[in-house]
């Protein structure tokens, strides 16, 4: 346990904690991107919001830059417009127009950095702030979650879009939920007990209850009574999803800080893709595990067992 804890901290400090250089490259990229927007859309009011791991405390030197543009110029929501403009400025791009959140994926060959851009999809800004809050509550969160992200990337099980496995965001949800369900818990439940709007209604209206407790001053040291080490936690995380979690009936719910059942959510019938169920904490009708099919989930489970 001691040796594993030391290894996690060593990897965290030497390889995962973002380098000053990588932070500078991200800053330069954002400036360059802002200049392109001003040049190509003079006079348009377009705000750039950086979200995801560049700002939630869970990024590494190799993380991409996630950007949300907000603007009243709705024509920008057609991501092919952005695509055309970016190509003019020598960016390599790839559009995913039919995703739930349409994005342009960018690779900047000059700065050697990747970025995902969406337009007017602000919900991710709120879940970014939620993750920032969890990171601030206990000093173990950052190295623990980064160790898990690192493992998933090494084992090729961190690619929802092209690999049919799970996104970083989904893995982070699993890791945070695991820390909420320790005894005593390391992380609190931040969301109000009941959704103030009924989930089906939310989905129909496209509305989401965005409230959660972000009072870091009050939450800091919440996990003080739990003395588990990083090494033990990592071991217990692998064991939980290798042997203890019931994939057939359980749903991971970070919003509630516990497991729900598929029957409770009405996820026990219909689409077979509901094999690994991880509830999105704000848009609770979404299963973050939907990107992985039965075979992928079997593979992921074998990875937990191997680990």
Q: What does each C-alpha distance from 53 to 58, 66, 125, 149, 296 come to in angstroms?
A: 5, 8, 11, 11, 25
**304 touches, from Mg ion, ligand CTP, none (C-beta below 5 to 8 Å by class):** none
What is the Cα–Cα distance from 209 to 284, expressed in whole angstroms? 10
Q: Does 57 bind Mg ion (CB under 5 A)?
A: no
Instruction: Please say which residue, 256 or 287, places its beta carbon nearer to ligand CTP.
Output: 287
The SS3 call for residue 168 is: helix
Burial class (CB in 10 A: 0-12, 13-18, 19+), 138: buried
Q: Which is nearer to ligand CTP, 65 or 233 (CB)?
A: 65
Least distance from ligand CTP to the Cβ atom of residue 225, Å: 28
108 contributes a contact to Mg ion by CB under 5 A = no
The helix or strand, by DSSP H or E, that contains position 118, with its residue range, turns out to be: strand 113-119
Closest CA to 66 of 97, 41, 29, 37: 29
Q: Which residues contact ligand CTP (rule: CB under 6 A)?
A: 51-53, 56, 58-59, 63-64, 66, 124, 127-128, 167-169, 172, 288
- CA dist., res. 10 & res. 230, Å (int): 12
Applying CB under 5 A, among 57, 66, 83, 289 the residue interacting with Mg ion is 66
Based on the shown chain and the rule CB under 5 A, indicate whether residue 52 belongs to the binding site for Mg ion. yes
Cβ closer to Mg ion: 66 or 280? 66
Is residue 113 within the footprint of Mg ion (CB under 5 A)?
no
Task: State which residue, 172 or 275, has the beta carbon closest to Mg ion.
Answer: 172
**C-beta closer to ligand CTP: residue 59 or 223:** 59
Distance CA 65, CA 60 (A): 11
Q: Which residues bind Mg ion (CB under 5 A)?
A: 52-53, 64, 66
């Amino acid at each position: 346990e001691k040796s594993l804890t030391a290894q996690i901290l060593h990897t965290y400090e030497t390889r995962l904690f973002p380098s000053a250089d990588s932070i500078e490259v991200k800053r330069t990229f954002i400036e360059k991107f802002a200049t392109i927007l001003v040049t190509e859309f003079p006079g348009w009011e377009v705000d750039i919001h950086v979200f995801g791991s560049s700002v939630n405390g869970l990024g590494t030197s190799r993380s991409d830059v996630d950007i949300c543009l907000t603007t009243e110029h709705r024509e920008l929501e057609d991501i092919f417009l952005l695509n055309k403009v970016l190509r003019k400025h020598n960016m390599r791009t790839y559009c995913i127009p039919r995703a739930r959140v349409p994005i342009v994926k960018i690779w900047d060959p000059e700065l050697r950095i990747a970025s995902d851009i969406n337009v007017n999809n602000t919900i991710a800004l709120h879940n970014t702030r939620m993750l920032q809050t969890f990171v601030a509550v206990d000093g173990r969160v950052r190295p623990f979650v980064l160790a898990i992200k690192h493992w998933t990337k090494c084992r090729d099980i961190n690619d929802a879009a092209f690999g049919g496995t799970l996104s970083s965001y989904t893995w982070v949800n699993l890791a945070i939920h695991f820390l909420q369900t320790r005894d005593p818990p390391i992380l609190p439940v931040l969301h109000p007990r009941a959704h103030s709007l009924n989930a089906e209604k939310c989905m129909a209206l496209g509305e989401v209850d965005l409230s959660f407790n972000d009072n870091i001053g009050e939450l800091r040291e919440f996990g003080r009574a739990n003395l588990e080490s990083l090494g033990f936690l990592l071991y217990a995380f692998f064991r939980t999803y290798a042997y203890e979690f019931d994939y057939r009936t359980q749903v991971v719910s970070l919003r509630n800080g516990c497991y729900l059942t598929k029957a409770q959510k009405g996820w026990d019938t219909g689409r077979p893709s509901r094999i690994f169920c991880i509830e999105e904490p704000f848009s609770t009708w979404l299963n973050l595990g939907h990107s992985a099919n039965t075979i992928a989930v079997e593979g992921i489970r074998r990875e937990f067992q191997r680990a």
